[in-house]
Structure formats: structure tokens, C-alpha cells
Structure 1
Amino acid sequence: MATPPSASTFAALLRAEGVTVVEVGDWENHNRNSKGPWGPVHGVMIHHTVTRGTANTVQIVRDGYSSLPGPLCHGMIAKDGKVHLVGYGRANHAGLGDPDVLAAVINEVKPPTDDEATVDGNRHFYGFECENLGDGKDPWPTEQIDAIVRVIAALCRHHGWSARSALRHLDWQPGKVDPRGPGMQWDDVLASVSARLGAKPPTKPAPQPSKPTVDLSKLIAAAKTNPATSGTPVTYSGVKTVEAALVNAGYLSKSYSDGHYGKATVDAYARWQRHLGYTGSAADGIPGRASLERLGDKYGFTVVA
């Protein structure tokens, strides 16, 4: 747990670690502090952007979208290793995450499987988006990986943290897959951070994320009893996992990813069904096994029951 330094000190810490820093506009005062607190901070979270092109990516992470205003991170780590600072303070990057994962980061131990989304991550983490298509094929250049290591090391050194204070978005939030792709080996990143900090690499490797499970029958019950259809709404935690996948697929706005299988989720799932070639009543937004398994295979969850 720590208090974030001033913006000028933050930039100086990165430069002292050998990071090439690009300051974008009035980044020191660009934040979402009016929407909630920032701090105490507990760690550094790494993401990928699902974008192409440095200039385009910088603009997106600085300004955000109509449904998710910027900044979307504190710094964007480009393919060439330059770190573009776009905001400082509360940023829309982490969202709600698992309290057990937060406890693991605070205690500097390997995080457990993320299966709950109840803790405000935007408050508690530095966030760095990394320029990458996020398709599992776009490579991570050596310069970019080196910059990630140096960014993490700079903040861990300042706060007296170990490499275990760094985590991936996929460690934090159910259904997330970032960062991934050729050249992104998280165990190697942690080992390199430890080496820069003058410590031994973590003896326990970071776990491969276990896939969350979605119970098909419970999901269907939640979908069929939303107020847009009939009956008393059924709540089920797996709805959040499916909604996170639909957000990643581009069919659902993150603002509607609330664990309630309402009209927005029905419409988003129907779009996914139509994407798979279903029509008519087979694309009504109520999950079927085949379409749900396809979604889970692509966005990281397993269908049961």
C-alpha cells in the first residue's frame, strides 16, 4: 500500500530507470478523480490495447470512448519502447476485479484464479496499456518488453515493492486475456524486474490463468428472466464472465457489463449469434451450448452443465 508520488516525480522515476518518456499534452492533470478516489496504490497493471499504430493508440488511450472516457491508463508503451504519458490520477483501465487477487498483490504472492469482480481496480493500480492487436499473433518486440520491465521496476523500486506487485489484466478481471502474444512471457518479465531490483527471480512462477466456468443452465435462467422478457430476474455470477467476453468481442459496451442479463446483453449476445451464422429464433440472444462454447473458446472460459 502506498501513496502515489507527484506527477513530476512519477515521470522522473521512469526516466531514472532508463525509460524514454513522451509527455502528451497536459497529462499531469488529465484524470477521472472526479469519479472516485485514486490511492492507496498497491501495484502495476499491464494491458494490451487491441489497436494498431502508435499515434492512433495514444489518442485512444488519452481520450477514450463515449462509453468509456479517458484516460484509459497512465502510460502507453509503444512498440518501439517509448512510454507516452497520457494521464495521472484515477484512470479507466482496471475496472472491478477480484478481492483475493488484490490481497495477493498486497502480500506479494502469486495471484489466485480471478473469479469475482467487486473491487475498484482503478483506485488501486498504476495502469499501462501496451500497443498490441491482442489477437495472440501480434508480436511483442524486445524494446517493448524491456520498457515494460523498466516501468514496473521503476515503480516497485520507489515503493519498495517486489516484482509480485506487478500483474496482468487477465490476473485481475474474469474473462480478460491481456496481455498475450509472441514474446510476452510473463514469468520472464517478472524475473527481469527482479533482476533490475537486485533480487532473485520469484521462486514460484506466475500461474497460468485458469479459465472461469459458466454454467449454461444458470446462464439461460438469468437470460430468460430479465425484465425485458418475463418473470423475476435470476442473478448468476457467470453473467459477468459472458459480458466481459462480449465486451472484448466488441458487441457490448463496458458500461453495460454489470452482471445483469438485461436487454443490452440480450442484444449483444444476439449479435454474437448472428456473427456465427444463426438467424431467426436461433439468434434471439438466449445462449445455446454451441454459441456459448465458441465464445468461451475465443475469450477464455469453459462451459459446464
Structure 2
Amino acid sequence: MSFTWLADHPLRTREQVAREIHAVALQRGLDELATVIACMTVAVEVGADDDDGNRQWWCPANQSDSETLNFPHDSESDDADSSGYFQQRPPWWGTPAQRMTLAQSADLFLSRLSGDYHTAAGNPALAGQFAQRVQGSAYPDRYAQHWDEAWDVVRRALATTPPEGDNVGYTGDPVWLEDVLRAALGDRLVVEAGWKDRGTGGQMGDIWGVMIHHTGNDRETVAGIRDGRSDLAGPLSQCLITPDGKCHLIAVGPCNHAGIGKYPGIAANTGNQRLIGFECAWPTIQPDGSFDKGQRWPDAQIITMRDATAAVLTKLGYGADRVIGHKEYATAAPNVKWDPGNIDMGWFRGEVAKDIAGYQFPGETPVVQPPDPSPTAIPADFDKQTFQQINGRWEMLGWQTLIEAVAEIRDHLTGSTDAGKTGFKLGAKP
């Protein structure tokens, strides 16, 4: 595999990649050996040194599969149309979103790992063969060469608990939400009273990322999200984002928003404790109860959804692959969801990725132009100019001062004979 571009830094450290893959393996009931075989594969497919000579695992997009460029990536390759950590190709390996999202691409790989992979314990060559059966590489012997690298990375990744901080997420209630969202949204954030005391009970676990919902009604209220409904107790999410672009911060603890479901890296039915929920008021309900599934989302609302998501994921130290729609989590009958409506989550993740990267969206950040100099601005020597113009004598006035000329005009118009008088007084007329 050849790279055509590498960023200064990868999206994740090798240890972070290993932890995410292992979370997917556990979700599938697999062990560390499965994680190691997957990491051997990643090491072969996308392992390369950065500019400082440090070994990294990269997530390349590919111009030949141009949609992959819309997803978070730290590199580009020109190896046919392969992309992502596992260098998976269409049409055999899902959608561009699946190939470019680590948890989903790992799930695709592990779903095809032979069930007897345990026989490769302690056997690098056999482990490499299991990887080769999935990948079908033209260079089948290379996987075994990275057995030691994969084990070293996995052991480091799993031997230590990720510390709280900028790079590896947070465990517990996100009491920092107000500060993070205020910095990103400014006056678009509305902090509701009591938000830090509100939740369904217990504390948030290891926060995996953000889940996007729609409420089913663009007139949804803060009270409705805060208090819940007859069949589901509130709060129903940490935030409500309304069509005008306001983000109402309602709760800090677990909320009844994700419910039944699962996603690679998120164990079954744990979304309420692992995901910060954004309920978004949409669509418009007509008097007869109908609505338009194709209704366009308001720009202000979409922009706030994007900015709020990017801010939270940046705080957690994660990329845009850590935001999912409810419809990507609740996929099994009878609890199949379709929110957030007609939003393509692959596109949305691409917009969030741009936001995280600092991209300036056209038309959203007005360029402040300095005002043109005013023709009536007061000059620095205004006092001097005023004195000279009032007291100076003007050839065009017959060498009279302005006051003398005005006095002659007044005499002419009114019949007075005041020109030439020398009296002067401040204040009221004598």
C-alpha cells in the first residue's frame, strides 16, 4: 500500500486503535487474540512512520473512492480503491462510512474471522493465515511479520486504564458541558435551571460519544424533554436543539434517549450511560397529524447540531466517527428507529470532521470589514481650523470675516443697522 499524503499526526495512537478494536471484539464475544489478529492486519495495511520516525497506524481515504474523502482521515492512498484502517474495498466491504469508521470496519473484519482462530494461539504464522483468509492479500506472508508489534500494542493498550484528558474520553457525568458548549455556541446555548442535578439516576459511564435524535415534532419544548412523557420518564436527553438554532442544556446524567440497541464499541442497551444525547426538534406536524419525511432541516438547527457535536467530541479527544444516529443503534425489531430523519449520518460526520479540523464554513463567519473613513470625521486640528475660519478674512467676502459678512446680509434683509457693532455676549439675549 502506498500513501500519497500523510498528516502531521494520525487520528489515533496505535494504542487507541487497539482499544477501539478490542471493544468491538468484546461486543462480539471474542478475546484478545482476535484483537491481535485484527491489529496485525492494520499494521500491515496502514502502518508507516510519521515525519519524526515514529511508527503509526493511519486511516487513509482514497481519491478513487471519492466519498471516503468526506470522512475523518489522516492520510490518502492510491492502492486501487481501498480505504480505512483495514484497506477495505467496495463493493465487498460495506459503505464508505463503514470502511472509514474504525469501529464499523473492525466489526466487518471480525465478522469474517474464522471461528477456529483460537488455534493460532502462540503461532504467528497461523495467525497470519487467519488474517489472510479475511483480507485476500497479494502478500499473504506479511501479516505474521507483525505478530510482535500487534501484541506489544495490545498489551500496552489494555494494561493501563486510559487517563482522563484530552485524548481518551471521560468517565462520569459531563459537568463540563456548559463550558464546552458555551465556547462553541456562544449565545446559542440556553442553560436551563437545575441541569447539573438532572438525570434518570446513577452516573454516566465511559462516554463513547454523541447520539443524534429527532423529537418527532418541531414544536417540542424544554419541559417535554425535561419531564418526559407518560410512557417514558425524563429527562429524555442532555440537550434539545430547536429549529432556531438554540441548544437548551437540560441534564447532566444518564437520560432515556438511546434505550434498546447496540453499536460497535457500545454494548447492548448501554447507550443511555455511554452517549450524550442531542434531541433535535423536527419535523413539522400538520393539523391532520401528517408530516413530510423529506422536510428540509433549518440551516440554523443543522449548524448548531454540528457545532455542538464537534465541541463535545473535541473535549473527549475523539474524531467524528464517535457521533451516530439513533437509527444506527436501534436496528433490531421491534425497536427499529429512524431518527434523525432524512439526515445522512455519513454526510453529517463529514461536516463534524471539518468543524473539528477548524474548517471555516463559507457564509457562517462574517468577515468584519473596517468602516470607511467618515467624510465628516473631526480632524485632529479641528479647534485650530474652526478659529481660523471664523476669525480669518476671506477674499471672496471682500476680505471680511464670516461674522462681518453675515452681519451685512442681516442688515440688508431686515433693515437693521447692526453691522460694525463690537458687542459680544455668551448666554441669553440681552
Normalising by the residue count of structure 1, what TM-score does the alignment of the two structures yield?
0.55
Q: Establish whether residue 153 from structure 1 lines up as the match of residue 305 from structure 2.
A: no
Whether the aligned pair in 2 keeps the contact of 1:150 and 1:193 (CA below 8 Å) is yes
Cα distance in 1, alignment partners of residues 353 and 303 from structure 2: 13
- The residue type equivalent to 2:355 in the other structure is R
Name the counterpart of 2:356. 197
Write out the 4+ residue segments of structure 1 that deviate beyond 3 Å after TM superposition. none
- The residue type equivalent to 1:25 in the other structure is A
Give the 3 Å change call, closer, same or farther, for CA 37–5 of structure 1 in structure 2. Answer: closer
Residues 56-97 of structure 1 show CA distances to partners (whole Å, capped at 9, x for unaligned) of 422211110122110000000110111011111010000021
Name the counterpart of 1:76. 240
- Aligned-partner SS, 2:324: strand
Aligned pairs for 1:15-164 within 5 A: 15-19=182-186, 20-33=188-201, 36-53=202-219, 56-98=220-262, 101-103=263-265, 118-133=268-283, 135-164=292-321
Whether the aligned pair in 2 keeps the contact of 1:81 and 1:144 (CA below 8 Å) is yes
Whether the aligned pair in 2 keeps the contact of 1:49 and 1:57 (CA below 8 Å) is no
Whether the aligned pair in 2 keeps the contact of 1:46 and 1:128 (CA below 8 Å) is yes
- Aligned-partner SS, 1:150: helix
- Aligned-partner SS, 1:25: coil
Q: Which has the larger radius of gyration?
A: 2
Which residues of structure 2 form unaligned runs of 5+?
A: 1-168, 284-290, 360-430
Cα distance in 2, alignment partners of residues 161 and 70 from structure 1: 28
Residues 86-145 of structure 1 show CA distances to partners (whole Å, capped at 9, x for unaligned) of 1110100000212xx242x7xxxxxxxxxxx93321111000000002751332111111
Cα distance in 1, alignment partners of residues 255 and 292 from structure 2: 24
Cα distance in 2, alignment partners of residues 27 and 10 from structure 1: 10
Residues 206-236 of structure 1 show CA distances to partners (whole Å, capped at 9, x for unaligned) of xxxxxxxxxxxxxxxxxxxxxxxxxxxxxxx
Cα distance in 2, alignment partners of residues 153 and 176 from structure 1: 23
Aligned pairs for 1:206-217 within 5 A: none
Percent identity of equivalent pairs: 32
Cα distance in 1, alignment partners of residues 174 and 276 from structure 2: 13
- Aligned-partner SS, 1:195: helix
Of 177, 183, 193, the residue aligned with 2:338 is 177
Residues 17-57 of structure 1 show CA distances to partners (whole Å, capped at 9, x for unaligned) of 13511112211111112xx442111010000001132xx42
* Count of residues paired in the alignment: 179
Give the 3 Å change call, closer, same or farther, for CA 18–24 of structure 1 in structure 2. Answer: closer
- Aligned-partner SS, 2:339: coil
Whether the aligned pair in 1 keeps the contact of 2:205 and 2:273 (CA below 8 Å) is yes
Cα distance in 2, alignment partners of residues 135 and 40 from structure 1: 37
Whether the aligned pair in 2 keeps the contact of 1:51 and 1:57 (CA below 8 Å) is no
Cα distance in 2, alignment partners of residues 58 and 145 from structure 1: 18
Cα distance in 2, alignment partners of residues 22 and 126 from structure 1: 17
Normalising by the residue count of structure 2, what TM-score does the alignment of the two structures yield?
0.39
How far 1:156 moved relative to its partner?
0.9
